[in-house]
């Protein structure tokens, strides 16, 4: 039996990964899906990256023991990279699922096209609460393009505003992830168009891992909504020894 900790991306909470966690448990594993500080709808939206990281670090220490397989989706790649740097002895494998792979001193903004940055800053300025929400048109066409419209609408209603500081804050690492002697996997959803080709999840970001196992799976960036069983199978393939 393995222990999986599923770390969600921006605009999500752990609840959106509950169905995937349940499938991992039905396969005989322990699985947890915590919510990053700032992503509960009741949380303040002024949270920065370090506070977001520390919230999952504390959850891991309090609930999960050692030999954990950390799975990070999208923004969650920032979180699992930092935790592996801080709690190296507790992590058995890192699994990046269409996730950002930061080097020391990088932010999410450093890995995004300039058009996204300008859009997010404009939305945050209009809101005035330190948060950014993903427009539905972008969600529908680029993030969940493999789902029917009703599924896309229901999934969008689950999302919540994301603290914009966590996207602009720079990560602080003792070592870049390609130097960390923890096994790594990258799940690439092949119909994911949420980033343009020049910023692509794979191979543009995945290659920063150094040696890694690649798991290719059909689907969009939001496979947790459009096909949870397929995603669960990919996570199990990525997490096995």
Cβ–Cβ < 8 Å for 49, 165:
yes
Question: Residue 102 to residues 43, 178, 196: CA-CA distances in angstroms?
Answer: 25, 10, 18
Cβ–Cβ < 8 Å for 82, 48:
no
Catalytic residue from among 13, 55, 74, 107: 74
**Is 74 annotated in the active site?**
yes
Q: 3-state class of 57 per DSSP? A: helix
What residues are paired with 215 via a beta bridge?
187
**DSSP 8-state code for residue 71:** E
Cα angle vertex 215, ends 214, 218, to 5°? 135
**DSSP 8-state code for residue 102:** P
Instruction: Provide the annotated active-site residues.
Output: 74
């Amino acid at each position: 039996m393995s222990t999986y900790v599923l770390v969600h991306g921006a605009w999500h909470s752990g609840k959106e990964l509950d169905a995937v966690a349940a499938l991992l448990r039905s396969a005989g594993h322990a699985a947890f899906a915590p919510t990053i500080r700032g992503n509960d709808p009741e949380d303040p939206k002024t949270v920065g990256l370090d506070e977001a990281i520390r919230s999952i670090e504390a959850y891991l220490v309090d609930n999960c023991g050692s030999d954990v397989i950390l799975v990070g989706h999208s923004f969650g790649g920032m979180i699992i990279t930092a935790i592996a740097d801080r709690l190296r002895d507790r992590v058995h494998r890192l699994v990046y699922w269409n996730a950002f792979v930061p080097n020391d001193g990088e932010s999410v903004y450093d890995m995004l096209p300039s058009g996204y940055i300008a859009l997010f800053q404009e939305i945050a300025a209009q809101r005035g609460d330190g948060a950014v929400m993903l427009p539905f048109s972008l969600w529908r066409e680029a993030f969940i393009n493999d789902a029917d419209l009703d599924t896309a609408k229901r999934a969008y209603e689950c999302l919540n505003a994301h603290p914009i500081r966590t996207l602009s804050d720079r990560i602080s690492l003792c070592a870049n992830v390609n130097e960390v002697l923890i096994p790594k996997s990258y799940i690439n959803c092949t119909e994911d168009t949420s980033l343009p080709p020049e910023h692509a999840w794979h191979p543009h970001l995945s290659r920063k891992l150094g040696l890694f196992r690649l798991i290719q799976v059909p689907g969009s960036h939001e496979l947790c909504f459009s096909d949870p069983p397929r995603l669960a199978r990919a996570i199990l393939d990525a997490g096995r020894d």
